[in-house]
Amino acid sequence: MPGRATGTDATRIALAAGEARSRVELAVGMLAPRIVERGPRSALLAVSAAQMLLLDGDELVVEVEVGAGCTLEIEDVGGTVAYPGVSSWRVDAQVGAGGALVWRGLPFVAAAGARTRRTTRIELAAGAAALLRETLVLGRHGERGGAIVADTEIELDGRPALIERLEVDAATPEPGVLGAHRVLDTLVAIGYRPPPSGQELSLEAPGAIARRLAAHSHASPLDEAWNSWRTALADRGVPRLRAWPCPDVPAADASSSSTSSPAGIAPRSSATTTRV
Residue 143, pLDDT score? 83
The pLDDT score that the predictor gives to residue 214 is: 72
Is 130 a residue whose pLDDT tops 50?
yes
Residue 256: its pLDDT value, please? 34
Contact 60, 29 (CB under 8 A): yes
Question: Which of the four pLDDT bands, split at 50, 70 and 90, describes residue 82?
Answer: very high
The predicted pLDDT at position 179 comes to 55
So what's the pLDDT on residue 173? 63
Residue 248 has pLDDT above 80, yes or no: no
Convert the pLDDT of each residue in 96-116 to its tens digit.
Answer: 999 999 999 999 999 999 999
Tell me how far apart the alpha carbons of residues 212 and 185 are, in angstroms, rounded to a whole number: 5
Q: How far apart are CA 255 and CA 158, in angstroms?
A: 42
Q: What share of the chain is helix, strand, coil (3-state, %, to 5)?
A: 5, 45, 45
**β partners of residue 165:** 151
Give pTM, 2 decimals: 0.84
Q: How much is the mean pLDDT over the chain?
A: 84
The model's pLDDT over 182-229, given as tens digits with 9 standing for 90+, comes to 889 999 999 999 998 777 899 999 999 999 887 666 657 788 899 999
The CA distance from 186 to 90, in Å, is 17
What three-state secondary structure class fits 135?
strand
